[in-house]
Amino acid sequence: MLLAIDIGNSNISLGIFRDGALLMKGKISVMTRRSADEYAAILYDLMRMNRIAREDVRGCILASVVPELTGLVENAARIITGTNILRVGPGIRTGFRIRIDDPSQLGGDLAADTLAALTEYGAPLVIIDAGTVTTIIAVDREKTYLGGCILPGIRSSAQLLKEATALLPSIELGDREDACLGRNSADAMRCGLLLGSAMMVDGFIDRYAALPGMAGARCVATGGSASLVTARCGREIRQDPDLTLKGLRYLYELNRPKKR
């Protein structure tokens, strides 16, 4: 079995694969004050709840965008599995070309997203990863990662509106307001955030689709806020909530040591 770990800004996503099938997935809230032993205990409990024996895990791959957590969670995984941890970073084989100023700056989660989307949907692609931040990236028909944009996440934007203003209320984002005119502050915030996000995504997709090598690009979305961000988009966007975990599995297969 393979343990895949994706450390994000808000949550740590976990997946366990056997023969390519995702047997278990779970999330742990990010807390930098936890020790490696505490993370190990949480991981062990999740595996035990899903009837997965620690000794059955023979490999582990980890991607992280939170440097202060990387070592802690890596040590936790090593405590539980007893295996060497493959960390996604500079020097890892991705299976696609990267055309950005400094390829070492490509986040492990985006590398995983890209490889999984290329493997399962083909090129060219526009990939939306909507979490604490929203990233929109373009991959051309030659399987070249061209770059992309980074936007505030929809939930982060809602929180910022509340924190930065004295009179605006706290709101729940949900599938409520489709009108472009809010009749009260809460509805105005909701339609601004939801429709505004959809318009931004549609706008970037249109611009990326006009780039050389991007004609006919498929659109794939993942991340905890993907459905909120893309629900009102005009383009057809495939939802794949497990894209990053699947990409970590593909990266592991591409980079694991060959048996002698």
Catalytically annotated residues? 109
What is the CA 197 to chain-centroid distance, rounded? 17
Give CA 235 to chain center in angstroms: 20
- Least Cα distance to 6 among 249, 228, 230, 240 occurs for 249
Centre a 10 Å sphere on the Cβ of residue 11 and count the other Cβ atoms it contains.
Answer: 16
Distances (CA, A) of 202 to 78, 100, 104, 150, 229: 42, 23, 28, 14, 10
Residue 151: C-alpha distances to residues 94, 117, 135, 216 (Å): 24, 21, 6, 24
Q: Which alpha helices (H) appear in the chain, and where do they start and end?
A: 36-49, 67-81, 108-121, 154-164, 185-209, 226-230, 243-255
DSSP 166: S
Q: Give CA–CA dist 90/83, Å, rounded.
A: 21
Specify the amino acid at residue 22: L
Q: In whole angstroms, what is the distance from residue 86 CA to residue 93 CA?
A: 12
For residue 128, what are its two tokens?
């939306």
